[in-house]
Structures are given as structure tokens and as C-alpha cells.
Amino acid sequence: MMRRYFGTDGVRGTVNKEPMTAEFSLKLGRAAGHVLTRHLDHQPHILIGKDTRLSGYMIESALCAGLTAQGMNVLLVGPVPTPAVAYLTRSLRADAGVMLSASHNPAGDNGIKFFGADGFKLPDEIEQEIERCLDDLPPLPDAADIGKAFRVDDARGRYVEFCKASLPRGFRLDGFKVVVDCANGAAYDVAPRLLDELGCGVVVMHAEPDGHNINLACGSTDPAGMCARVVETGADAGFALDGDADRLIACDANGVIVDGDRVIAVLAEQLLHHDRLTGGAVVTTLMSNMGLEHYLGGLGLGMHRASVGDRYVLEMMRDKGCNLGGEQSGHIIMLDCNTTGDGLLTALQLLAAMRDQEKPLSELASGMQLYPQKLWNIVLPRRMDVAGQPQVQQAMKAAEIRLDGKGRLSVRMSGTELKLRIMVEAEDEDMMLNVGQGLADLIESTLSSE
């Protein structure tokens, strides 16, 4: 079935344009309330969290109205990270959870993503059923059967304690000095509090959200300021979160970026050392660097590549029996800790590896050599099969021939934005740039001619 609203990370779009309107949010609440609770034999509860976007108030109110109209009780937890919603849905025994966020997108966007009672994102078939229900909304229940909304005041504190519990009892991080860039997003309160309570000296950046400044020249998509502050303050590491804190980009004491591929290498080696890595492999995506694959191979580990999107990484992890997986962009999933990517848990595990191995972050996984890699993003006027056009197919085949097994090419539609993403990596940087730019120019020319 062709998806109309749900992408790889829920429903997302520009606020006050379809589908991210108050009217659609109300309808979605009714449709989701019906689908998620049709087999329950009790008064259902659903939890709603959000990041710090101004539009969160509007969408929360509309979605809450639709859910309660359909008979669901709603637990409102306010601004919390996406992984906190996954955890709190389980902890509070809710029947489902919702996170209102557009992740790393600018403040003018927002999104709605659902979690099941188990804390995992809804499977494709349930999202498709909700989409079908939008076209034929169920009858409203009697007035006596509508739901209520409650505020949960200690949600952030619960999540902080959950994160601390991922470390051994009594384990502390005294002596570490870290910089944390909160992206003016959902972790503006919990990130500094968590690191401080564990004993870190914390330099806080971008933790003053105003509804408009989320991800604005900060966070995981713009970590340069974080890197500079680490060097300036003599910190041991830096951590840049995105707007909903489910991803993390780190840097070492020298201000050198440690992306998701390097993080996976560090955590895989740490888990392997403690005999806690399952499945004999990790799961990454088509975007992960070939250097990571070679490094893991040297440790005797395999690497499975899933489609891009943390939901697909998670699906393959569960299928292959792996407890570690993630994306180069910083979504790291540690199934022993949480059911979704979690930027704060990732930061804690990196610091724990530094303490356990008595090495700076720059030395952990220092033997991993990355291939030169670059990503080109081409903005599209609408969803269209650019890669399927004959001249583009021919150019892609020619590029593969030029790479001759010494590099990789990936051309795909973004699951969250109207962009075509071209990724090229190769042993030779000049070849990588030449192949990628040539293909990007051809596609731009094809779009212009249309």
C-alpha cells in the first residue's frame, strides 16, 4: 500500500500545511485511537510527549482532543526526549505513546510518531491501518465514554533515573569534563541534570528554548560550536544532541568529530570485551562507511546493512538477534538499554568506555580508517522516481563501473524530506568527488529540463 502520510519516522511536515495542521491532527487522533484500542478490554491510556517547538502546543491540543473524543485517556508529559517517551510508555503501562517532534528539522516543521505499549515504533501495517481509518472515521462514543487528559509532573525525573540505571550500581563519572549541546530541544533540562548528577563537570550550550530556536545553528546537525567549546574549555568530550535527543554526534578532546560509525565501533568493542555483544555482528545502514565494516571484521564481527532509517535498523536487529545498531547520523540503538535511538544513553556508554578502558575518546577505535565519503542532497519539487529515469540509471551504472569495487554508491529518496540523497565513497577521494558531483549535476539538469 502506498503511504500518504507516514514516512520512515511518523507523519512530518511544515506546520499549518497539510498534513501538519490542527484539523489533521484531530482526525489522526481519532483514527489512531480507534485502531490502537479496538481489541482492548479496558479504558485505554496513551502518553504524549513533545519537543520544544512552538507548534507543539497546537498539535498536542488537537491530537489530545481527537484521542479523548475516541475514548482514550491521555497522559501529557510535556517536553521530553523521544527515547523518554519510549521508556515512559512502558513504565507507566500505557497502551501507546506519541512523540511530537520533527527531530533535526527546523522549528517550522513538526511531526507525530507513535509507539506501541512495548516502547517500539508501530509496525508498518498498523500505520497503514491508521491511514485507511482516516478515510472512514469510526462513530464517536457516547458522551459518558469519552476520555480524560492528565499531566504527569515527574516524567523528566523518571527518565533521568532510567538513564542512570543503564550504568552499573554506584558507577560515577567524577573527573570528566564534558560539553553538551542541547540544540534548544527536548533534552534542555534532562541532559545537563543527568551528567551533573553522575559527577561530570558540565559545560551547557543551547539549553534555552524559546519555541523558535530548536536546531538553529546548533545541535547534531551543526556541531562546530560544540567542537570549538570543547577545545576552549579543555573538556574531555563533547556531545551534540538533536531536537528530540534520539541522536548524538560526539567529539573528542581535540574537537575532532566522532560520528555514528565511530561510536558503533567503540561500543561494539566495549560490549565484545565484556562478552555482552549478541548476534556476532552489528546492524548499520547503506550509509555506513566501508571502513567500519573492515574494522569490525578485524574484531571477528559481522556487519548487516539495513535500509536507511532507525526503524529499519531496529527491525533487522531484532531479526538477526543483535543488541547494537545504528546510523552514521548518530541514531544509536542499544536494545539492552532502550527500544529506540537514545542520544543521552549513547553519551553515557561512551564515557563509561573511556573510564573502563582508561583511554581518551580519541584513542578508542583509533585503528578504524574511514574511506572518503560525501553526501549530496538534491531538493525535489515533489515525490518522484528520479533514480528510475533511463538517463539517471545509465549514469549510475557508469558510476558503479568507475568505482570498480573500490567504493560504493547509494541513491535514495529521503524518508523525512523532499530530497534525493546521493552518497559516494571510494578509496580515492578525487574519484569519489568526481563520481558524485557528476551524478548530482546530471540529476539537477534532468530536473531543470522537466
C-alpha to C-alpha distance for 185 and 181, rounded to whole angstroms: 9
Q: Are 190 and 155 in contact (CB under 8 A)?
A: no
Residues 6 or more apart whose CB falls under 8 angstroms from that of 211 comprise 52, 53, 54, 107
Question: Which of 112, 132, 103 has the alpha carbon at shortest distance from 20?
Answer: 112
Query: Mapping DSSP to helix (H, G, I), strand (E, B) and coil, where does residue 378 land?
Result: strand
Q: pLDDT tens across 85-119, in order?
A: 999 999 999 999 999 999 999 999 999 999 999 99
C-alpha to C-alpha distance for 186 and 78, rounded to whole angstroms: 9
Through-space distance between the first and last CA atoms of the chain, rounded to whole angstroms: 28
Question: Which of 396, 49, 22 has the alpha carbon at shortest distance from 190?
Answer: 49
CB count in 10 Å sphere of residue 252: 22
As given in the structure block, the three cell numbers for residue 125 are: 501495517
Query: What integer is the mean pLDDT of 397-421?
Result: 87
What is the predicted pLDDT for the residue at 450? 66
Between vectors from CA 246 to CA 119 and to CA 212, what angle results, nearest 5°? Answer: 120
Query: Mapping DSSP to helix (H, G, I), strand (E, B) and coil, where does residue 259 land?
Result: coil
Q: Is the previous residue joined to 19 through a cis bond, with omega within 30 degrees of 0?
A: yes
As given in the structure block, the three cell numbers for residue 37 are: 484500542
Query: Mapping DSSP to helix (H, G, I), strand (E, B) and coil, where does residue 172 land?
Result: coil
Between 13-17, 271-275, 306-310, 342-346, the lowest mean confidence (pLDDT) is in 306-310
**What domains can you pick out in the chain, each with its CATH number?**
6-153 (3.40.120.10), 159-357 (3.40.120.10), 373-449 (3.30.310.50)
Query: Mapping DSSP to helix (H, G, I), strand (E, B) and coil, where does residue 24 land?
Result: helix
Q: Note if 101 is an active site residue.
A: no
CB count in 10 Å sphere of residue 223: 26
Q: pLDDT tens across 137-181, in order?
A: 999 999 999 999 999 999 999 999 999 999 999 999 999 999 999
What is the predicted pLDDT for the residue at 2? 61
| 278 pLDDT more than 80 | yes
Pick the catalytic residue: 25, 101, 103, 288? 103
- CB neighbour class for 279 (10 Å; exposed up to 12, middle 13-18, buried from 19): middle
- The amino acid that residue 94 corresponds to is A
Q: Are 284 and 325 in contact (CB under 8 A)?
A: yes
| 415 pLDDT more than 80 | no
Q: Are 325 and 283 in contact (CB under 8 A)?
A: yes
| 384 pLDDT more than 90 | no
Rounded to the nearest integer, the mean pLDDT of the chain is: 95
DSSP letter for each residue of 302-349? EEEEEPSSHHHHHHHHHHHT-SEEE-TTS-EEETTT-SS--HHHHHHH
